[in-house]
Structure 1
Amino acid sequence: MSIKQPNLLLPAPSGDLQISELPSATSDEASALLSFSLVVPTYNEAANINKIVRILSQILDEIIPGDYELIVVDDDSPDGTWQLALSLIAEYPQLRVMRRQHERGLSSAIIRGWQVAKGRFLGVIDGDLQHPPHVLLQLLNAIQEGADLAVASRHVEGGGVSSWSFIRRFLSRGAQLLGLIILPRVLGRVSDPMSGYFLVRRSAIANVKLNPVGYKILLEVIGRGDIRQIAEVGYVFCERKEGESKVTWKQYLDYIHHLLRLRLSTFQIRGLSVHNSFPIGRFIRFGLVGLSGVFVDMAVLYLLSDPTTLGLPLTRSKIIAGEIAIFNNFLWNDAWTFADVAMQQKQWHQRLKRFLKFNIICLAGLVLNVLVLNLVFNFIIHNRYIANLIAIAAATVWNFWVNLKLSWRVTQVK
């Protein structure tokens, strides 16, 4: 395909991955400013580019006509995605196209797009139609109402995934759990830190040197930006219709590298006003359920091990009692603490999956309990009962927080 106007291509920025502030309202450049700039990073998306540009343009023309831009940033796709996108400019005047020939990577492509953007609000959406475009309406509304960051989440009401394999689900859960351990103050602020579909207020990340690794640019935005208020909107992650998935093992390694880099960086999270702040009500209910589990554990242990009853060996009795207590806690948490989430997924296999995750997390909490008990007793407070109370408190917070993020959330939809 021959392009008669190659000068329509946006020049690809180089240098630091840093976004400038918008010009002041009194400057000459201010007349060219827009409300919203949406970056669509692409690589070998020739089969999808026409459709996504058409759909996005139709949606945005209805709500902010002429006050937005679509920026396709293509990493010099062998299938000519950038050429096809360029040929669409005559039909879609809000479209801009960048061809990168000397740099690669999803995260840097997004930032390079933001660097040439003219919008007060910046966004990103995948070019493969796995992110439903209509969710932009809710994300834009959240930003316009004052949020610094609006994230499309698979794990809040209205969200989910359509047909993921067990392996992919396992890797996703494991990646988030690892992130919660390494960077709890970053990943704990959103229900779906792996999301690649979000909008951010330009002023929240302006003049900040970004340094992402791999695909998970949202971690960088939350970790290094001045993100005070966060809103989340549910969306269903759809399966790709055209083209091939680009998820490989390298992306998971890059994710771990990114977590460690952020952990070791000397950043501070300024302001922690979030729409989904710590759910104290759920935590109290979770604690009361845990207290009921203590009584169940003690009663079953007595019935199984006491010489006047069954007289079974202590270790065997304790294992059975502990598992029954865990089952008791799961039933009450599912019916009371997290009832709003459980009601959305009531089928038996969905409850079974929640129970298995709850069980594994509680067993990990037991290991944490023992470790904290020994650490506190041997090095801090030489009182076994106070040390045990501290260990129980630590394990309770662990069990609640990880179950909140991984067990009771909407993930599977039709």
Structure 2
Amino acid sequence: MGIYQPNQVLPVPSGPLQIPAIQTFGSTFVHAGTSLIYFSLVIPTYNECRNIQSIVEKLSQLLDGILPGNYELIVVDDDSPDRTWEVALSLTPEYPQLRVMRREEERGLSTAVIRGWQAAQGEVLGVIDADLQHPPETLLQLLAEIQRGADLAAASRHVGEGGVSDWSVVRRFLSRGAQTLGLVILPGVVGRVSDPMSGYFMVRRTCIAGKTMNPAGYKILIEVLGRGDIRWIGEVGYVFQERQEGDSKVTWKQYIEYLQHLLRLRFARWPMGKFLRFGIVGFSGVFVNMGVLYVLFDILGLGLTRSLIVAGELAIISNFLWNDLWTFGDISKRQPGSRQRLKRLLKFNTICLMGLILNVLLVNLLFNVLGMNKYLANLIAIATVTLWNFWINMKLSWRVTDVK
């Protein structure tokens, strides 16, 4: 544990949004082992001068009772016109665990949280809103989940006794709609928690240390889930309170940023380099198919059906060889031998044939049922099947197996 010494405004970290494994930036503590303190709670603020004293007082009372001298509160203020940072700084003599950062260049809640974590000393990192819409008492339950072994503990409006105090039908609809959109675009991340829109949670430093963050807007939890090594998640129900002081900062801009964030994480998890190579190889297969068809049907006089089958199969084999050598060459090198290559070829062939069936079904659905233009329908079907072929082949044909 460390000994706190009063300090002035914390310097703002610069460079990549990356949490260090062991904190040294802006340290005002004395090292006594690999961990300085147990818990660091970031409070991002903008024009919260009327709420900051109350939230600091409530949090300090709670944490002094369970982690005396073993926590810190970090107010990260985006240079508020109401000088929230100055009000927070005036509280430091009374609350020695309080630290204050004033950001004059950067803006945004998500980056404020990460900059706060970069300067934090704790092995457990947390975030809470300054407007008292997140009940401070829930911290005790979140810390209990971490102490039980959870990698991340999130406060949720959708479990146990959770809920919202006085939301309009429109706001409830927008909140649920945003969650549903997240499940469609990024199910493997958003679907891990019941309330992915929550801004009230804590996470072990080791789970996100060294990860470069790239958040957008207000939803930092999705970024942590998407980029961190999170295994065990604990959730605690809470009732989202109405703001007592100050103005709400939720606008349509935040919903647009949320969508951008989802897409950014979606494509960050998609290997674009491999996908582009896969597309180039697939395009080359068209020429193989057409060339073989011309030779067999027009020159050698073979029947059309047999020519189409042979041309299609040779194009598939050509695509496989190029993908095995180039697109997924890094994986193929780890699976040498003719037996392994044959297994990959058989899987690739089967998946491509399934893709052909999918293409036919989609064209018929779009053209015959929905009345779409046949060329547009075929273009959509080709794009869909290309994505299908790439993703399924990556998951089944080219994956590391039988390697010690």
TM-score range, shorter chain: 0.5 to 0.7
What is the aligned partner in structure 2 of residue 169 from structure 1? 172
What is the aligned partner in structure 2 of residue 406 from structure 1? none
> 2:78 and 2:225 mapped to 1: Cα distance?
25
What is the aligned partner in structure 2 of residue 357 from structure 1? none
> 2:33 and 2:213 mapped to 1: Cα distance?
25
What is the aligned partner in structure 2 of residue 130 from structure 1? 133
Deviation at 1:266, TM superposition (A): 2.9
What is the aligned partner in structure 2 of residue 272 from structure 1? none
> 1:45 and 1:134 mapped to 2: Cα distance?
20
Deviation at 1:205, TM superposition (A): 0.2
> 2:200 and 2:169 mapped to 1: Cα distance?
23
> 1:35 and 1:214 mapped to 2: Cα distance?
28
Map 1:396-411 to 2 at 5 A: none
Cα deviation digits, residues 176-206 of structure 1 (max 9, x gap): 1111000000011000000000000000000
Map 1:341-356 to 2 at 5 A: none
Query: What's the secondary structure of 2:38's corresponding residue?
Result: strand
What is the aligned partner in structure 1 of residue 228 from structure 2? 225
Alignment check: 8 A CA contact 1:73 1:109 kept: yes
Deviation at 1:170, TM superposition (A): 1.0
Question: In percent, how many aligned pairs have the same letter?
Answer: 67
2:204 aligned with 1:201, yes or no? yes
2:15 aligned with 1:15, yes or no? yes
Runs (4+) of structure 1 exceeding 6 A deviation are none
TM-score normalised by structure 1 residue count: 0.62
Query: What's the secondary structure of 2:253's corresponding residue?
Result: helix
Query: What's the secondary structure of 2:184's corresponding residue?
Result: helix
Read off the aligned partner of 2:262 and give its amino acid letter.
L
Select 1:243's aligned residue among 223, 242, 246.
246
> 2:23 and 2:171 mapped to 1: Cα distance?
44
With over 3 angstroms needed to count, the CA separation of the structure-2 counterparts of 1:133 and 1:28, relative to structure 1, is closer
TM-score normalised by structure 2 residue count: 0.64
What is the aligned partner in structure 1 of residue 268 from structure 2? 265
Specify the structure having the higher radius of gyration (Cα). Answer: 2
What is the aligned partner in structure 2 of residue 51 from structure 1? 54
Cα deviation digits, residues 64-113 of structure 1 (max 9, x gap): 00000000000011101000100000000000000000110000000000
> 1:259 and 1:173 mapped to 2: Cα distance?
15
> 1:156 and 1:249 mapped to 2: Cα distance?
27
> 2:23 and 2:100 mapped to 1: Cα distance?
22
Cα deviation digits, residues 253-291 of structure 1 (max 9, x gap): 0000000000000379xxxxxxxxxxxxxxxxxxxxxxx
Deviation at 1:14, TM superposition (A): 1.0
Read off the aligned partner of 1:8 and give its amino acid letter.
Q
Read off the aligned partner of 2:8 and give its amino acid letter.
L
What is the aligned partner in structure 2 of residue 65 from structure 1? 68
Alignment check: 8 A CA contact 1:224 1:267 kept: no
Select 1:30's aligned residue among 6, 18, 33.
33
2:116 aligned with 1:113, yes or no? yes
> 1:82 and 1:32 mapped to 2: Cα distance?
27
Map 1:323-342 to 2 at 5 A: none
> 2:204 and 2:148 mapped to 1: Cα distance?
11
With over 3 angstroms needed to count, the CA separation of the structure-2 counterparts of 1:28 and 1:126, relative to structure 1, is closer
> 2:23 and 2:259 mapped to 1: Cα distance?
37
Note the residue ranges of structure 2 that are not aligned, 5 or more in a row: 1-5, 25-29, 272-356, 365-404
With over 3 angstroms needed to count, the CA separation of the structure-2 counterparts of 1:207 and 1:178, relative to structure 1, is same
> 2:254 and 2:23 mapped to 1: Cα distance?
36
What is the aligned partner in structure 2 of residue 141 from structure 1? 144
Cα deviation digits, residues 109-156 of structure 1 (max 9, x gap): 000000000000000000000000000000001011110000000000
Query: What's the secondary structure of 1:133's corresponding residue?
Result: coil
With over 3 angstroms needed to count, the CA separation of the structure-2 counterparts of 1:32 and 1:151, relative to structure 1, is closer
Note the residue ranges of structure 1 that are not aligned, 5 or more in a row: 1-5, 269-374, 383-414
Deviation at 1:23, TM superposition (A): 6.2
Read off the aligned partner of 1:156 and give its amino acid letter.
V
Alignment check: 8 A CA contact 1:106 1:215 kept: yes
